[in-house]
Amino acid sequence: MNATEIARAVRSGERSAFDLIESCLDRVTQRDGTINAVTRLLSERALNQARRIDALVAEGIDPGPLAGVPFGIKDLFDVQGLVTTAGSKVLASEAPADCDALLVSRLIEAGAIPLATTNMDEFAYGFATDNAHYGMTKNPHDSARLAGGSSGGSAAGVAAGYFPLSLGSDTNGSIRVPASLCGVWGLRATQGLLPVSGSYPFVASLDTVGPFTASAADMRVMVEVLSASSLARVDVAGLKMARLGGWFTQEISPEMEAAFAAFCTALSIRREIVLPEVATARAAAFVISASEGAGLHLDRLRHSPEQYDPAVRDRLLAGALVPAPHVFRAHKIRHWFRERMHEAFLEADILVAPAVVGPAPRIDTPVIEIGGQPVSARANLGLYTQPLTLAGFPVLTVPLAIDANTGSGMPLGVQLVAQPGREDRLVALGEALERAGVARARILED
């Protein structure tokens, strides 16, 4: 069941929130030894919250639009009474959070129930959820493959059927990459739309937060609850769409190329737009991420470097060596590229691009091919997401309803990009694609 179905059943008294949460906790306990999406179960809190929801229903009080719906929380959001780890042992001695992050509290106020915290790349620096402290998150559809990252635990938890909703963060693709590889819906919201308060930062000038969901209908409710505002209803028939060419057609795998072409054909997308200097934009995102990330951790790196995941520590140390003029130039490129993105929207309302180059890489060969050479998946799975980061525009990852008997049978996703603040267009289009059978989340059933 997706979130809207669960909430409807709980609010009507057809289903007990307590029984539902017990079932979800059992599912995680029985199955997560293989997937490793969850870092901490919030069992006592979740069951107490479920009892409260059931009591409200019994009294004839509406608990909210997400009544009884369990959700996962990426381990960089504050959860009252727990240390916010950001996927690291470095913060283990910090004081527990004295309150929930704002987005967590908004979900709870809407009746949702926090079920677990989820695994991530340490300090959100990676695209694989390969964590030296908490282990690697595996893809629920094939445990021999990566789930993507850095919000891999949140995406995998939805795909595994632990919860239909979860929270993640996206700086360079950390929602969009795992959403695509795990086959769920994911939204990188317009930068600044959703409050980041109560979440541990990675790159303050690029960071965004956002939801994963099991359906497009769930995405509408999530965006409205998280933003504390209603989304307008949009007639998608009038939207002009264009596919991004150039950079976004290079390095693509045959399987992704075929799926993306079929998607564009289904939507009658013929117009192609080629953004200028995409490689430069991606390089600028790398420089900004490395330098800002390093600045945040410099003191700890000086005093306790051994506590870091070695791969993350080395990238942070490299970022500390980036000269200031390079960082200044990267920000100039960012502003220039944002202007080019605005120009692209003079020709279209929605831009469409692949989210990843292909299906989830195998764990025993964690590489993708760029320029004919194998390169680290952990650093490069964001090939198509990272350049779009600079513009700060909203991007919805759409899980394609592909035939599981073709190619690898693994999920694939595309990015829908809209102008700032136009999440209403993205969600409405996602709902239309879901109704038409073009898009569908891949959720493991019992």
Amino acid at 117: T
Per-residue CA distances from 420 to 130, 244, 343, 396 (Å): 32, 18, 13, 12
Per-residue CA distances from 442 to 184, 185, 261, 397 (Å): 6, 10, 20, 13
In the set 16, 88, 150, 169, the catalytic residue is 150
Distance between CA atoms of residues 69 and 54, nearest Å = 12
H or E element, residue 402: none
Distance between CA atoms of residues 22 and 162, nearest Å = 11
Q: Which residues pair with 398 in a beta bridge?
A: 414
CB 398 within 8 A of CB 414: yes
- Taking alpha carbons only, the member of 256, 289, 264, 168 closest to residue 219 is 168
In the set 88, 151, 169, 174, the catalytic residue is 174
Residue 91 burial class via C-beta count within 10 angstroms: exposed 0-12, middle 13-18, buried 19 and up: middle
In the set 16, 74, 169, 291, the catalytic residue is 74
- How far, rounded to the nearest angstrom, does the alpha carbon of residue 397 sit from its chain's CA centroid? 8
Torsion angle defined by CA atoms of residues 437, 442, 444 and 446, in that order, rounded to the nearest 10 degrees: -10
- Does residue 150 have an active-site annotation? yes
- Taking alpha carbons only, the member of 63, 64, 70 closest to residue 25 is 70
- Taking alpha carbons only, the member of 289, 293, 283 closest to residue 333 is 283
- Does residue 74 have an active-site annotation? yes
- How far, rounded to the nearest angstrom, does the alpha carbon of residue 60 sit from its chain's CA centroid? 36
Residues assigned a catalytic role: 74, 150, 174
